[in-house]
């Protein structure tokens, strides 16, 4: 079967019931996506399927045949980070890092989908992503800053 | 023991017709929609060596559309699609509210209304609104189609009255004749998101001339083996004015329809008291 991963068409020939997170990490070498709880509670494994945030630990790969997957690797790379990643660094939005790829992808889907930059709305958007160290304040601040930045860019 | 993908067989129908015919040949296969509940259990190894009927390719069952007298929600419409759909927001806001409280964005983007119903958890948050809206569940099998009122779908904890080979095609919500005077959806859990309900309530109330109750429907989830309508309290209240004695009696009658349990999330006493307070405040006209 074929699917798009970070813009490239990839072929997958393993078991159709392999979970998306395992296919990404083991078959496509994209280890940025982390598995936390494995039961859809913590959001660490969040990736986008056709632009929507989903838990990759709960999806057998057969269900995403022909769909477009985006992982944290698509956001940027060292030296060329996205505004969202820069904001997480500037505002202390990451500490141990396990929740970070999921936080970034959920926030990225929210921003791309035209979500509100209101603090309460950002908190609701991130409600499915748990962090056990930095606390949520810095993460919300990071997303808010990235959204403020992207608005400024649009105005220019 | 973990989920072992190589032990699984997957059937992947591309149309409703194909899904029904594959399921007829293999009634032991497990229908899979969004997988938000099933995959949790599969991950810990509870469903290895099974055959899966993956419904994600059946596009016809994702639509939400209007008829002259109802709104029809395809079984595979997701909670995210339902909570933001203009027809649902306008006519059936309690269902939109319920879908918005299920999990968080990631779950809402995958979980489906049909999957929620077929799963039949006592804590299914869409059920109280579906019960007060008197939803009709449309079923299909190789033998033909069948309609079942939502009140007849649940047979117990995680059990439904669906017959062998039957799949949920859609859920129809009949339009309400009159806009209710009051309506409520209220979920009580440990936190706002990602929480399994301790109790969940949906209610509609329509007042007529002189404050006489014309229509009253109230339903609870999570405090009985299945979600239930408060049939006794409802029939007491309809046709009467909402005097304090009527409200007291309705709150007392509530316990004839519900039977909360002690479990990891709450005690029986807590659930009863919170539920009774939600009902009382609704009848008294106080926003909770």
Instruction: For the domain covering A83-155, report its CATH number.
Output: 1.10.150.120
Contact A60/B39, CB-based, under 8 Å?
A: yes
**What would the two tokens of residue B223 be?**
């405090």
Q: Identify which of A15, A63, A128 has the shortest CB distance to residue B54.
A: A63
Question: Strand A68-70 and strand A46-49: pairing?
Answer: antiparallel
Q: Domain B5-57, what architecture?
A: 2-Layer Sandwich (3.30)
Strand pairing partners for B143? none
**What would the two tokens of residue B62 be?**
């994702």
Q: Identify which of B6, B105, B107 has the shortest CB distance to residue A15.
A: B6
- Which regions of chain A does DSSP assign to beta strands (E)? 2-5, 8-11, 46-49, 52-55, 68-70
**Within chain A, which residue ranges are assigned CATH 1.10.150.120?**
83-155
**What would the two tokens of residue A84 be?**
């969202």
Strand pairing partners for A2? A11
Sorted by where each begins, the domain ranges of chain B are 5-57, 60-174, 182-284
Provide the sign of the torsion angle of the four alpha carbons B221, B225, B231, B237, taken in this order: negative
Contacts of B107 in chain A (CB under 8 A): 40, 55, 128
Those residues whose C-beta lies under 8 Å from the C-beta of residue B264, and which sit 6 or more positions away, are none
pTM attached to this predicted model? 0.95
* A123 three-class SS: helix
- Asked whether B97 and B105 are in contact (CB, 8 A), the reply is no
Render pLDDT for A82-107 as a digit per residue (tens, 0 to 9). 999 999 999 999 999 999 999 999 99
Q: Which residues of B touch A (CB under 8 A)?
A: 3, 5-6, 8, 10, 12, 32, 35-36, 39-40, 43-44, 52, 54, 56, 80, 103-107, 109-110, 192-194
Q: How many CB atoms lie within 10 A of CB B288?
A: 12
Question: Cβ of A14 under 8 Å from any chain B Cβ?
Answer: yes
Render pLDDT for B85-94 as a digit per residue (tens, 0 to 9). 999 999 999 9
**Within chain A, which residue ranges are assigned CATH 3.10.20.30?**
2-74
The domain defined by A2-74 folds into Ubiquitin-like (UB roll) (3.10.20)
Contacts of A49 in chain B (CB under 8 A): 109
Render pLDDT for B117-137 as a digit per residue (tens, 0 to 9). 999 999 999 999 999 999 999
Contacts 24+ apart (CB under 8 A), B252-256: B254/B230, B254/B279, B256/B232
For the segment B57-62, the average pLDDT, to the nearest whole number, is: 96
The matching CATH number, chosen from 3.50.50.60, 3.30.465.10, 2.60.40.420, 3.90.700.10, for B60-174 is 3.30.465.10
Mean pLDDT taken over chain A: 94
Strand pairing partners for B139? B146, B168
Identical topology for domains B5-57 and B60-174? no
Q: Identify which of A14, A53, A63 has the shortest CB distance to residue B105.
A: A53
In the predicted structure, residue B277 carries a pLDDT above the cut 80: yes
**What would the two tokens of residue B165 be?**
């080979």
Q: How many CB atoms lie within 10 A of CB A50?
A: 13
Note the Cα B237 to chain centre separation in Å. 24
Q: Domain B182-284, what architecture?
A: 2-Layer Sandwich (3.30)
Render pLDDT for A8-29 as a digit per residue (tens, 0 to 9). 999 999 999 999 999 999 999 9
- Asked whether B120 and B133 are in contact (CB, 8 A), the reply is no
In the predicted structure, residue B219 carries a pLDDT above the cut 80: yes
Torsion of CA B231, B235, B238, B243, to 10 degrees: -100
Distance from CA of A156 to the nearest CA of B (A): 32
Render pLDDT for B37-49 as a digit per residue (tens, 0 to 9). 999 999 999 999 9
Q: Identify which of A14, A49, A58 has the shortest CB distance to residue B35.
A: A58
């Amino acid at each position: 079967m074929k699917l798009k991963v970070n813009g490239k068409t990839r072929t997958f020939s393993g078991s159709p019931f392999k979970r998306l997170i395992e296919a990404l990490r083991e078959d496509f070498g994209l280890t940025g996506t982390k598995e936390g709880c494995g039961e859809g509670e913590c959001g660490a494994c969040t990736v986008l399927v056709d632009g929507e945030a989903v838990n990759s630990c709960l999806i057998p790969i057969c269900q995403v045949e022909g769909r477009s997957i985006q992982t944290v690797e698509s956001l940027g790379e060292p030296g060329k980070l996205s505004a969202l990643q820069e904001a997480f660094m500037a505002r202390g939005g990451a500490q141990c890092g396990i929740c970070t790829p999921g936080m970034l992808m959920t926030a990225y889907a929210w921003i791309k989908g035209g979500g509100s930059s209101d603090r309460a709305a950002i908190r609701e958007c991130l409600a499915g992503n748990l962090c056990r160290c930095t606390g949520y304040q810095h993460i919300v601040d990071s997303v808010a800053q990235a959204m403020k930045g992207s608005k400024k860019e649009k105005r220019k | 023991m973990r989920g072992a993908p190589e032990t699984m067989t997957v059937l992947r129908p591309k149309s409703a017709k194909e899904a029904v015919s594959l399921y007829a040949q293999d009634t032991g296969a497990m229908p899979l929609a969004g997988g938000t509940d099933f995959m949790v259990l599969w991950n810990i190894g509870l469903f290895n060596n099974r055959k899966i009927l993956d419904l994600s390719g059946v596009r016809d069952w994702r639509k939400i559309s209007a008829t002259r007298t109802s709104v029809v929600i395809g079984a595979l419409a997701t909670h995210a699609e339902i909570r933001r759909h203009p027809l649902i927001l306008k006519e059936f806001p309690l269902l939109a509210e319920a879908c918005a409280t299920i999990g968080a964005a990631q779950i809402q983007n995958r979980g489906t209304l049909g999957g929620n119903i077929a799963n039949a958890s006592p804590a299914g948050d869409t059920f109280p609104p579906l019960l007060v809206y008197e939803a009709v569940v449309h079923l299909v099998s190789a033998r033909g189609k069948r309609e079942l009122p939502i009140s007849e779908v649940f047979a117990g904890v995680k059990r439904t009255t669906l017959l062998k080979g039957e799949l949920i095609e859609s859920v129809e919500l009949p339009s309400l004749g009159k806009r209710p005077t009051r309506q409520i959806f209220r979920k009580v859990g440990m936190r706002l998101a990602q929480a399994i309900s301790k109790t969940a309530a949906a209610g509609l109330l329509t007042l007529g001339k002189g404050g006489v109750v014309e229509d009253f429907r109230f339903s609870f989830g999570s405090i009985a083996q299945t979600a239930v309508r408060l049939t006794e309290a409802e029939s007491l209240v309809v046709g009467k004015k909402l005097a304090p004695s009527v409200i007291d009696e309705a709150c007392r009658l509530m316990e004839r329809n519900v039977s909360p349990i002690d479990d990891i999330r709450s005690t029986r006493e807590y659930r009863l008291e919170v539920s009774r307070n939600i009902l009382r405040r609704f009848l008294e006209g106080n926003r909770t």
